[in-house]
Every structure is written in structure tokens, then in C-alpha cells.
């Protein structure tokens, strides 16, 4: 129902004069009368009685004043509260479970920031894929980035980036050890339960590898390898700079594993304009899977 009907009623109830009300509202007298009739028809009551030129409120009209005032007041309060949201910056909430995306995401966010300077972006680093998926299910994140598999029917998964994982060692380690077979060398391994450890175990069974040290963190593994504690298998993006300056040596040119980074979101999620802009920025990045444009 049009809130204006209640405002017109309150003014007529105060003035008890259609002519004066029409002058204050800049409406014609027939328009004022039509609005009062609409309100009466809606509630199936008479709000005013006319005796000659005199206008009086009926009992229903007198009762309506209190409700109309509350309705108008609540409507105006709602407008004021909603205005604070409409003028506030929108926020995109991201959950991230893989360090690799941190080498990729800043360029995406820079492009997005250039398009929407007032946009707020919240990035939460999660311990693992399951934490991200839980956040998506609980609507704490708009999008998530994972390198594991989604197991929930309510969540959509879309591959956006494929990362090669290579065997590497430090220059110092190569000098001090004759590398014939990786199985004969100490491997700085990922902890059991991590995605990369699971993929390696699927490939090799991990029966013959010497793993005196295990980490849950790729950066920690990289530092251990650079320090000469052993060899390891690391995502290319994480080690490309160290390879370029000779800190790390690639032991096998063919990728050990190809790891997929995926975008996840709730299947009931309604995309906002900033979310579409994020997807476009993702699709525009070198190496990104262009099929992400299917979501646009």
C-alpha cells in the first residue's frame, strides 16, 4: 500500500478540510478525495463524515490516526536506516585455503580496486579446504579459493588456475649430494592430511621416501629446502623467483603433480555487481581458466 495514503489521511484529519489539504500537498481536491477513498476501500471503513461543508472523523477515523502515525514513523525510520546501508561501501568476503592464490589474488584485487575504489574486500586465510567450505555453507564468505575437492552438494566449484608442482633442491644440497634417485634423498614433506601430501601418496604410495621433517606450510617447506635440509615438491608459483636466481634447482622438468585452484560459492548465492567484477578480473589474469567467464 502506498505510504502516501496514510500521509494524506493524517493531514486531512488534522485540517478537517479537503481544500486546505490539497493546497498544502499540491494535489487537486478530487485527487485528495480519491486517496481517502482508496484507504477506506482497503480497510472497508468510513474514515470521515461530511455534514454540509463540515468534515468530521468517524470512530474508525479517530482510531486510524494512531496507526497511521506509527506506520509513517516506522516507514521514515526504515528509510533512514536503509540509507546508511545504501551509502555504505559494499564488501566482498573471501575465504582462502591455499597460499598459491596469494601470489595470484593481489593482481585481481588491484584490478578490482581500480574499477570500484569504494569497495571493501575482506580476505580470511583459512587452515584448510574444509574451513573454507564451512564458511561458504554458513554464508560467511561470498567466494572461496581452495586447492582441494568440494564434497558438498550446496556448493559449486569452478577451476580457475592449474599449478605445476615440481621436485626442487637447493644449490648447496646439490653440491653436497649426488642426486640419482629422489627416493634416496631426505624429503621435506607435507603433513598427512594436506592436499599435496595426499596427491603424492596417491602417485607413489610414499613407501620409499625418507621424510625426516614434515610441515603443514608450503613457505616453511621452501625455507627448509633453501637451507639445504632436503628436497621437496613445491608449486611453481611459490618457487619461480628462487629458481630464476639459482637458489633452487629443478630436479625433474616434468611436473610431479598438476594442482587445480578452484573458486567455490554457495549454489543459492545471488551475485552482486562487485562479485561479477571480481569474476571478470579473475578471468583477465594470465594463466586463468577462461571458462570462468561462463559465470558472468
Whether 55 contacts 17, CB under 8 Å: yes
What's residue 119's pLDDT? 86
Strand partners, 200: none
Please state the pTM of the whole predicted model: 0.62
Q: Quote the CA–CA distance of 57 and 63 in Å, as a whole number.
A: 9
C-alpha cell at 192: 598427512
The per-residue pLDDT of the chain, averaged, comes to: 87
Residue 85 has pLDDT above 80, yes or no: no
What pLDDT digit, counting tens, does each position of 211-270 carry? 888 998 888 999 999 999 999 999 988 899 999 999 999 988 677 788 888 999 999 988
How do beta strands 91-96 and 120-125 pair? parallel
Residue 169, helix vs strand vs coil:
strand
Percent of the chain exceeding pLDDT 70 equals 94
How do beta strands 54-57 and 91-96 pair? unpaired
Domains and CATH numbers, the chain: 3-87 (1.10.10.10), 91-161+260-295 (3.40.190.10), 163-258 (3.40.190.10)
Confidence band for 182, pLDDT divided at 50, 70 and 90 = low
What's residue 183's pLDDT? 61
Amino acid at each position: 500500500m502506498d505510504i502516501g495514503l496514510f500521509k494524506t489521511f493524517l493531514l486531512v484529519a488534522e485540517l478537517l478540510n479537503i481544500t486546505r489539504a490539497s493546497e498544502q500537498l499540491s494535489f487537486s481536491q478530487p485527487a485528495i478525495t480519491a486517496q481517502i477513498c482508496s484507504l477506506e476501500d482497503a480497510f472497508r471503513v468510513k474514515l470521515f463524515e461530511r455534514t454540509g461543508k463540515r468534515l468530521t472523523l468517524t470512530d474508525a477515523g479517530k482510531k486510524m490516526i494512531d496507526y497511521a502515525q506509527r506506520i509513517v514513523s516506522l516507514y521514515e525510520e526504515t528509510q533512514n536506516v536503509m540509507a546508511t546501508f545504501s551509502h555504505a561501501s559494499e564488501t566482498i568476503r573471501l575465504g582462502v585455503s591455499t597460499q598459491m592464490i596469494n601470489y595470484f589474488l593481489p593482481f585481481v584485487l588491484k584490478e578490482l580496486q581500480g574499477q570500484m575504489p569504494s569497495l571493501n574486500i575482506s580476505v580470511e586465510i583459512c587452515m584448510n579446504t574444509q574451513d573454507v567450505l564451512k564458511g561458504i555453507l554458513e554464508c560467511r564468505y561470498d567466494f572461496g579459493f581452495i586447492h582441494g575437492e568440494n564434497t558438498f552438494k550446496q556448493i559449486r566449484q569452478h577451476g580457475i588456475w592449474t599449478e605445476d608442482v615440481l621436485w626442487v633442491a637447493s644449490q648447496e644440497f646439490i653440491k653436497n649430494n649426488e642426486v640419482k634417485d629422489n627416493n634416496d634423498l631426505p624429503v621435506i614433506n607435507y603433513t598427512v592430511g594436506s592436499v599435496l601430501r595426499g596427491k603424492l601418496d596417491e602417485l607413489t604410495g610414499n613407501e620409499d621416501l625418507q621424510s625426516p621433517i614434515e610441515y603443514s606450510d608450503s613457505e616453511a617447506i621452501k625455507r627448509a629446502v633453501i637451507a639445504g635440509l632436503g628436497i621437496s615438491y613445491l608449486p611453481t608459483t611459490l618457487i619461480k623467483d628462487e629458481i630464476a636466481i639459482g637458489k633452487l634447482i629443478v630436479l625433474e622438468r616434468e611436473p610431479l603433480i598438476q594442482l587445480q585452484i578452484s573458486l567455490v560459492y554457495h549454489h543459492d548465492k545471488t551475485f552482486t555487481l562487485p562479485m561479477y567484477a571480481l569474476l571478470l578480473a579473475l578471468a583477465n589474469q594470465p594463466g586463468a581458466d577462461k571458462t570462468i567467464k561462463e559465470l558472468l
